[in-house]
């Protein structure tokens, strides 16, 4: 495709403005996802959740993307229907699911509100509150993952050949900003439990604001599409074929990145869902203190991911960065497992690891996949990633319950942390295999992304 002359995405101010706009959508997405990690103990006290129940709640986010392959379907729809229609549909699901989750945790619902009697009529082993919150979490996950795919394609559309890795690094930074805000603000609003409902509704309203922000983006997307149609001939869009997925997966470099993605993120996000509780039991910290320490992770990635993206744009070495990031993650979990070092330093190192790998991994997709399949490729990656985000929280909760019979006041987290360390080791292995395959196949993953 020829370069568009004086289209809106040729102006740096417009590109970075769009990044801020869609970055807000990511921030509120991650805020809602992580708002519950500092509320775990309050959910246990308020609704009688077990550790397994909480793990199930965390993992329900990933069910539509793991078993229904909705992130893949969303990516295919994105390649076929475009950014605007796909984005609105799935961000609407994200906001609807967030509001439904908040409703399930509300006093109105607990006191016999709409749907309570129906939820009470089946699966008596689970409370009506948990079942409604699981339903909300399902719809939230249905929309949230594909919304991230949509944002990824937006960045490719506006930044390809123009600081793409930096844009992806800032995209990750916006997501971590949402996590940081959730870990800082959510426990303060909830207090000792009297503000639990307010904290959850606040997170849900932010998700609704994300939908409004996307409606604003749609106006800019209409404008750039009109400019493209006016200033150059648009090649015919290829129809999606099932063979496109097999073609993508047959690329070993892509396959190793996908395996790295699922193991790396499974060793981070589920850990973060339990981290405040882990710090509370292991180091005797309050939940507010634990939340502040856990927030060092998104704070570190907020700073380091754009920096690493900037360097990868100009100097490359993305595959090498993935190796070092995976190694750092392994060292963090081994430190938590076998030493008594206070969590401040390991969390900073975890922040660096969680900056290196995403900053290198996501923009590298443009080296491995044709533009016409980029939505499908990202969707497939997120579905594979969600396999870990679904299974690992449940496994972590089960390990906690099995290794702490009677639910003692002080939980032993060692077996759970060792599980995270094992996932980190697998991620490191896949990062090495990617490096080898990139050299053998000549894909250029280690080349500077700004190189045309």
**pLDDT digit string (tens) for the chain, length 452 residues:** 444 456 676 677 888 899 999 999 999 999 998 888 878 878 888 888 888 888 888 888 888 877 877 777 777 788 778 888 899 999 999 999 999 999 998 888 888 889 888 988 888 888 888 899 999 999 999 899 889 889 988 988 888 777 777 888 888 788 878 988 888 899 889 887 788 899 999 999 999 999 999 999 999 888 887 766 655 444 444 555 666 677 787 888 888 999 999 999 999 988 987 888 888 888 878 767 877 787 777 777 777 888 888 888 888 888 999 999 999 999 999 999 998 888 888 988 898 898 899 888 888 887 888 767 777 788 788 888 888 888 898 898 888 888 887 655 677 888 999 999 999 999 999 999 999 998 888 777 888 766 54
- The DSSP code for 8 is G
H or E segment to which residue 160 belongs: none
In the three-class reduction of DSSP (H, G, I as helix; E, B as strand; rest coil), residue 4 is classed as coil
> Shortest CA distance to 435 belongs to which of 263, 317, 328?
317
DSSP state of 162: S
Structure-token match 């496109």, residue found: 244
Closest to 388 (Cα-Cα) out of 297, 262, 280? 262
Q: In whole angstroms, give the CA distance from residue 439 to residue 280.
A: 45
Rg of the chain in Å (alpha carbons): 21
Closest C-alpha among 19, 27, 355 to residue 174: 27
CB contact set of 408 (below 8 Å; sequence gap of 6+): none
What pLDDT does residue 267 have?
Answer: 94
Please tell me the distance from the alpha carbon of residue 366 to that of residue 414, in angstroms, as a whole number: 40
Please answer whether residues 264 and 358 qualify as being in contact, where contact means their C-beta atoms are separated by less than 8 angstroms.
Answer: no
Give the model's pLDDT for residue 408. Answer: 58
Give the pLDDT score at 60.
87
Distance CA 303, CA 443 (A): 29
Domains of the chain, by residue range, sit at 12-441
Q: Which residue has the tokens 């190189």?
A: 451
Question: Are 41 and 277 contacting, i.e. CB atoms less than 8 angstroms apart?
Answer: yes
- The Cα 212–Cα 88 span in angstroms is 9
pLDDT attached to residue 243: 66
Cβ atoms 144, 29 nearer than 8 A: yes
Contact 34, 179 (CB under 8 A): yes
CA distance 312 to 448: 6
Between CA 97 and CA 401 the distance in angstroms is: 28
Q: Which fold has domain 12-441?
A: Growth Hormone; Chain: A; (1.20.1250)
Residues contacting residue 80 through CB under 8 Å, at least 6 positions apart:
237, 239, 240
Structure tokens at 64: 């539509």
Place of tokens 């290196």: 356
Q: What is d(CA 38, CA 117) in angstroms, rounded to the nearest whole number?
A: 29
């Amino acid at each position: 495709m020829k370069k568009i002359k004086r289209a809106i995405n040729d102006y740096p101010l417009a590109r970075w403005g769009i990044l801020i706009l869609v970055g807000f959508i990511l921030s509120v997405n991650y805020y809602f996802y992580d708002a519950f990690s500092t509320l775990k103990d309050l959910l246990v006290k308020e609704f009688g959740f077990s550790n397994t129940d909480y793990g199930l709640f965390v993992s329900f986010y990933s069910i539509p993307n793991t078993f229904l392959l909705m992130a893949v379907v969303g990516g295919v729809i994105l390649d076929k229907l475009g950014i605007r229609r796909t984005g609105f549909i799935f961000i609407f699901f994200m906001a609807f699911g967030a509001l439904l989750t908040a409703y399930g945790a509300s006093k109105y619902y607990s006191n016999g509100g709409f749907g309570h009697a129906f939820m009470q009529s089946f699966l008596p082993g689970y409370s009506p509150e948990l079942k409604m919150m699981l339903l909300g979490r399902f719809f939230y996950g249905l929309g949230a993952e594909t919304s991230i795919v949509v944002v990824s394609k937006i960045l490719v559309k506006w930044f390809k050949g123009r600081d793409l890795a930096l844009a992806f690094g800032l995209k990750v930074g916006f997501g971590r900003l949402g996590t940081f805000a959730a870990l800082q603000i959510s426990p303060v609003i909830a207090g000792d439990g009297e503000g639990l409902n307010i904290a959850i509704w606040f997170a849900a309203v932010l998700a609704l604001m994300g939908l409004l922000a996307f409606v604003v983006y749609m106006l800019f997307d209409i404008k750039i599409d009109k400019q493209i149609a006016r200033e150059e001939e648009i090649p015919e869009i290829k129809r999606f074929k099932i063979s496109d997925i097999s073609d993508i997966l047959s690329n070993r470099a892509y396959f190793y990145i996908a395996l790295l993605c699922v193991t790396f993120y499974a060793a981070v996000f589920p850990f973060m869902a339990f981290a405040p509780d882990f710090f509370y039991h292991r180091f005797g910290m309050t939940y507010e203190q634990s939340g502040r320490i856990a927030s060092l992770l998104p704070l570190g990635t907020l700073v380091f991911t754009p920096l690493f993206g900037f360097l990868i744009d100009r100097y490359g070495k993305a595959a090498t960065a993935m190796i070092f990031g995976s190694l750092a993650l392994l060292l963090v979990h081994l430190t938590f497992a076998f030493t008594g070092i206070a969590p401040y330093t390991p969390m900073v190192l975890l922040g660096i690891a969680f900056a290196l790998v995403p900053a290198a991994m996501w923009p590298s997709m443009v080296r491995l996949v044709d533009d016409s399949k980029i939505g499908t490729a990202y969707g497939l990656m997120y579905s594979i990633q969600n396999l870990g985000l679904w299974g690992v929280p449940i496994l972590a909760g089960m390990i906690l319950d099995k290794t702490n019979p009677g639910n003692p006041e002080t939980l032993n987290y060692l077996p759970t942390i060792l599980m995270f360390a094992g996932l980190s080791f697998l991620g490191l292995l896949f990062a090495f295999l990617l490096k080898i395959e990139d050299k053998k196949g000549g894909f250029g993953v280690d080349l500077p992304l700004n190189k045309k």
